[in-house]
Structure 1
Amino acid sequence: MTIEGGRTLNTIKTLKPLGGSLLALSVALATQNAQAASDAEAIIQNNCLACHTQEGEQAWSRISHQRKTPEGWLMTIARMQVMHGLQISDEDRRTLVKYLADRQGLAPSETEGARYALERRLNTSESFDSQAFTEMCARCHSGARVKLQRRPASEWEHLVHFHLGQWPTTEFQALARDRDWLELALNEMVPELAQTLPMDSNAWNDWQQQPEAPVAGSWTLAGHMPGKGMFHARMEVEPVSGEDQYALSLNGQYEDGTSLRGDGQAVVYTGYEWRANIEIDGQVMRQVFALQDGQLSGRMFLRDKDEVGADVVAARDVSGKSEILALQPAYIKAGTEAEISIVGTGLKGLPVLGSGVDVVEVISESPDLIRVRARAAKDASGVMVPSVGQAEGGRFAVYDRIDRVKVVPEFAVARIGGNGSSTPRVEARFEAEAWAAGADGQSGTADDYRIGFVPATWSVAPFDAVAEADRDVHFAGRMNSNTGVFTPAAAGPNPERRMMTNNAGNLKVQARVQDGLQTFNAEGQMIVTVQRWNNPPIP
């Protein structure tokens, strides 16, 4: 990135009053950034101008008229390699992605509502206000892929023509052959996209003027992994050579005492898009976080099995700042005692969990983790905002009884695999979410409140008569009754099945939760289907 960008200049302005050493560091970083930009521009000049044309200094046809996430730019360059024979090294591709994502990325507010695709939350059920958008764009790939880019009208029109040229059968598919697809795409969809997803926006202009957020230092992480449970950890982040690149070390544990340790590398794109690979217990995990207001939030998942992952929130240690990130567990039943962990940064002072909840004992305390034994009064109930000293935050629920239970996700997809095929099995992971009735005592009203994820006993059943006749429960895979993790069966034709079909299935997911003498049952649905052969960074 060249120095005319507001983010680099603002960094220098912020650091200058703090002393000569920091000024020297900021100048070195600006020089490094300028060199990286020069390298990227040279790569474009040498590799891209056979097809693209120069439109001015640091401007090229097509390239300069789009804004995308790092994954979006990676997919664009990969498409140039696959479809147009672009020859480029992995290192040069990384340089280009960094340059383009920094210079032509998305502001944080522009990614809201679509980050599930970046974070590989592949069981998300999409819903859009525009029926035309749903039928035109979201019928072949996720709508999030479109929502995570910005173009002027002329570029959206180019995209329509690209689709029709690259996939000529587009006009003959469902939701296209019954209408004048090209007419609708050009005259209705292009104007809608240009208006709702414009190249120029105040959000992007404002974001470019924001100072760089500090990254290096110590961070506290709190997370939750379906099938495994809660965890907390410390993450040390150190800058290394290269623009916005960092070395990581992670040290923590799950609620069952299992250690969580690893080392890795991170890159920050566009000033806030955190991407890291970190090896934990011999497996590489991918971190896709957004950095805002001194916090990281997003998902950490296995790079090669992205359905196995955890929701994470993290905060950087800042002198004089105290912050609560999470309580683990974040609920207690009225009239009982429980051990609660308070995870945060700079924690100091008396922990208070809320009205009607007494801290009986402080088991251990440190600036990032306080473990207490708490007792809830028999008449306590509701959602509390805990505090430690002057810090308030997190959420703590007190309930007298469970009112209902939900299966989360309500609908999921698992995929057969392995058995000599090129793709592994894709598990499905479920949790039981408990809810309590609000002050009115009525179930299903607006003041009901979420208790949290609770232990359950899991099973599957045929979803319908067809699934029962085809014995889907027997063939499609196995559910772990304790963890809610479903492992699908092997890929390929199964000679034991009717017509030698594969091990696909349509299953009802059942959770049974015991709360004292009461038993609660909840159901969801899971489709066990075939492999996904095309699995791009943004689905």
Structure 2
Amino acid sequence: MTRLRHYLGAGTLAALALALHQPAQAAEDGQTIINAKCQACHTPEGNNSLSRISHQRKTPEGWLMSIARMQVMYGLKITDEERRSVVKFLADKQGLAPSETDGVRYALERRLNTVEHFDTNFEQMCARCHSAARIALQRRPAAEWEKLVNFHLGRWPSLEYQALSRDRDWFDLARKEMVPELAKRFPLDNQAWSDWKKDRPKAESLAGEWSFAGHMPGRGDISGVMSVASKGGDQFKVAVKGKFADGEAFDGEGSAVLYNGYEWRGNVAIGDTTMRQVFAALNGRMQGRMFDKSHDERGLDFVAAQQGSSRVLGVQPAYLKAGGEAEVSVIGSGLSGTPSFGPGVEVLSVVAQSPERVTVKVKASDSAAVGERDVTVGTAKGGSLAVYKEIAEVKVVPEFSVSRIGGNGGSTPKVQGSFDAEAWGKGADGKPFRIGVFPAQWSVEPFDDRAREDQDVKFAGEMDAATGIFTPGDAGPNPARKMMTNNAGNLKVIAAVDDAGQSHKGEGHMIVTVQRWNNPPIP
């Protein structure tokens, strides 16, 4: 695990975030706790309904943040065990249907370098202080959205005079335009939630073996098997046994809780690093992200299929050059037979085969059509392989990112940058297609003249040339810098890819900035 620790690191988890990943008490205890703890401020409305609380729906993280706000702002006294039970109860009773989280799960999965795209009014009125996803991951009627507007202005009265507020009547716009819009987009009651409550699957269906595939930026592809054993109710014991492409083990054990029939939250110890699992578990498939609990920027994309199903999860590596030979592995569940990669790609030999992984030696003809093609193994479908003749472009992923200085005796650790070099080709129709992630030589340069003048490359941190992992500088004033400023910087991220002697470069943009002091479960 020595190399893995280099990428994952170690540290401590904030107590509130940890609450989502510990075993919860039986959900029926939640109502008793709510009645005892919340009625001092929330008015009973009959049938175990309380003002405000009963008129919202949220994810587990959303309910956790609400309880934290009651603790911090209003002095709520609640134990960790009680809080876990209340979150479980509310996330089950007043959660979101799977379709309601589509497109905004990046916030739950801590994909903090996601660039959001919403309409301008929504972004400027609501999403300049926190992510737009935080809003999109809750449901309220119009009256509750209006109360939320009033809460914002009452709690932060200078809000109207901050950037993007001074040029408008913020409060009037919020009440008259945003409240009706939010109530329309994100209503308390809808068909999706009604249907999901009726057909919500039972937790015990998730017990069994799961084949998984994944990718960790700066580290590479990974695959293996996750064993899930029921501990009763919605709680599970989890064991992970996997390997990176270079053979390094990715093994560990932990536990998980299922919220609302599909929201999987787990903690798994991989070596001396505890990793969180934030997955959507639906229809024999789990998909989401695993990440270091104390460094959420360090993590891997994860997709799994329950054994007993027949499905291709991915191909590793997922590209092949026309006229070339390579060894590739098809990862999935219920794999039986010889993989098919489409016309022009021949399977020369089967190197190893199991229901979870088929490794073959393949050759692409010189005339093989370029582009992505579907991969099948018998009846199993779901993966793709890109055949290319030459690289047309290299993209740095993420294209724009933020890393943060830290440490140096302070309480907040550094937030690293992690990058992949993504190669793209052009099809016969001239349209671009993704080839895949290539090895690269990494470096940083000043983003502009000011960054060059301030020597940001020297002070802002160090890029690992082989992995694409950027480690920011120390927090605090630096006497060696002009005006003793800190080690912030504005940098270009350069990826140099060599493909059979042909050199290709891609560029990204990274801001190295100060610590994030407020880091809630939903950013």
Q: Which residue of 164, 177, 181 maps to 1:188?
A: 177
Q: Which residue of 141, 162, 165 maps to 1:173?
A: 162
1:57 aligns with 2:47: yes
| 8 Å contact kept, 1:221–1:314 | yes
1:369 aligns with 2:357: yes
Q: Which residue of 222, 229, 237 maps to 2:213?
A: 222
Task: State the partner residue of 2:17.
Answer: none
Matches within 5 A, 1:82-481: 82-129=72-119, 131-212=120-201, 214-241=205-232, 243-318=233-308, 321-380=309-368, 381-440=370-429, 442=430, 447-481=431-465
| 8 Å contact kept, 2:490–2:511 | yes
| 8 Å contact kept, 1:328–1:342 | yes
| 8 Å contact kept, 1:322–1:346 | yes
CA distance in 1 between partners of 2:195 and 2:229 (Å)? 28
The code of the aligned residue for 1:435 comes to W
The code of the aligned residue for 1:172 comes to Y
CA distance in 2 between partners of 1:382 and 1:427 (Å)? 34
| CA RMSD, Structure 1 to Structure 2 (Å) | 1.2
| 8 Å contact kept, 1:340–1:371 | yes
Task: State the partner residue of 2:475.
Answer: 491
CA distance in 2 between partners of 1:450 and 1:183 (Å)? 46
Percent of residue pairs identical:
59
CA distance in 1 between partners of 2:382 and 2:399 (Å)? 29
Q: In the TM superposition, what is the alpha-carbon distance from 1:376 to its structure 2 partner?
A: 1.1
1:511 aligns with 2:495: yes
| 8 Å contact kept, 1:337–1:374 | yes
CA distance in 2 between partners of 1:147 and 1:532 (Å)? 22
Q: In the TM superposition, what is the alpha-carbon distance from 1:211 to its structure 2 partner?
A: 4.0
1:526 aligns with 2:510: yes
- Per-residue displacement from partner, 1:175-215 (whole Å, max 9, x unpaired)? 22222111111111111101111001111111111141521
CA distance in 1 between partners of 2:301 and 2:28 (Å)? 37
Provide the secondary structure at the position in 2 that maps to 1:467. Answer: helix
Task: State the partner residue of 1:79.
Answer: 69
- Per-residue displacement from partner, 1:412-436 (whole Å, max 9, x unpaired)? 0010000001110000011111111
Task: State the partner residue of 1:22.
Answer: none
- Per-residue displacement from partner, 1:32-77 (whole Å, max 9, x unpaired)? x9x9343111101111100011111121110000000000000000
The code of the aligned residue for 2:266 comes to A
CA distance in 2 between partners of 1:177 and 1:404 (Å)? 42
CA distance in 1 between partners of 2:396 and 2:357 (Å)? 30
CA distance in 2 between partners of 1:391 and 1:237 (Å)? 22
The code of the aligned residue for 2:209 comes to S
CA distance in 1 between partners of 2:257 and 2:206 (Å)? 10
Provide the secondary structure at the position in 1 that maps to 2:26. Answer: helix
The code of the aligned residue for 1:215 comes to L
The code of the aligned residue for 2:78 comes to I
CA distance in 1 between partners of 2:111 and 2:371 (Å)? 30
Q: In the TM superposition, what is the alpha-carbon distance from 1:387 to its structure 2 partner?
A: 1.4
CA distance in 2 between partners of 1:467 and 1:448 (Å)? 33
CA distance in 1 between partners of 2:482 and 2:199 (Å)? 62
Aligned length: 497
Identify if the C-alpha distance between structure 1 residues 517 and 37 changes in structure 2 by more than 3 Å, giving closer, same or farther: closer
CA distance in 2 between partners of 1:385 and 1:142 (Å)? 35
Q: In the TM superposition, what is the alpha-carbon distance from 1:522 to its structure 2 partner?
A: 1.1
The code of the aligned residue for 1:346 comes to G
Provide the secondary structure at the position in 2 that maps to 1:335. Answer: coil
| 8 Å contact kept, 1:436–1:450 | yes
- Structure 1 stretch displaced more, 174-183 or 301-310: 174-183
- Per-residue displacement from partner, 1:247-301 (whole Å, max 9, x unpaired)? 0000010001100100011111111111101000110000111112210011111
| 8 Å contact kept, 2:456–2:488 | yes
Q: In the TM superposition, what is the alpha-carbon distance from 1:354 to its structure 2 partner?
A: 1.8
CA distance in 1 between partners of 2:200 and 2:419 (Å)? 40
Provide the secondary structure at the position in 2 that maps to 1:83. Answer: helix
The code of the aligned residue for 1:526 comes to M
CA distance in 1 between partners of 2:379 and 2:51 (Å)? 54
The code of the aligned residue for 1:411 comes to F
- Per-residue displacement from partner, 1:409-460 (whole Å, max 9, x unpaired)? 11000100000011100000111111111113x4xxxx32110111111110
- Structure 1 stretch displaced more, 355-364 or 380-389: 380-389
Q: In the TM superposition, what is the alpha-carbon distance from 1:517 to its structure 2 partner?
A: 3.0
Higher relative contact order, structure no. (Cα contacts within 8 Å, ≥ 6 residues apart):
2
Tell me the TM-score normalized by structure 1. 0.91
- Per-residue displacement from partner, 1:353-409 (whole Å, max 9, x unpaired)? 221111111111111111111111111122221111222220111111111111111
CA distance in 1 between partners of 2:382 and 2:161 (Å)? 54
Tell me the TM-score normalized by structure 2. 0.93
| 8 Å contact kept, 2:226–2:239 | yes
| 8 Å contact kept, 1:355–1:384 | no
CA distance in 1 between partners of 2:371 and 2:167 (Å)? 53
CA distance in 2 between partners of 1:49 and 1:493 (Å)? 48
The code of the aligned residue for 1:503 comes to N
The code of the aligned residue for 1:334 comes to A
The code of the aligned residue for 2:351 comes to I
Q: In the TM superposition, what is the alpha-carbon distance from 1:323 to its structure 2 partner?
A: 1.2
Provide the secondary structure at the position in 2 that maps to 1:538. Answer: coil
- Per-residue displacement from partner, 1:302-324 (whole Å, max 9, x unpaired)? 01000001111001112xx3211
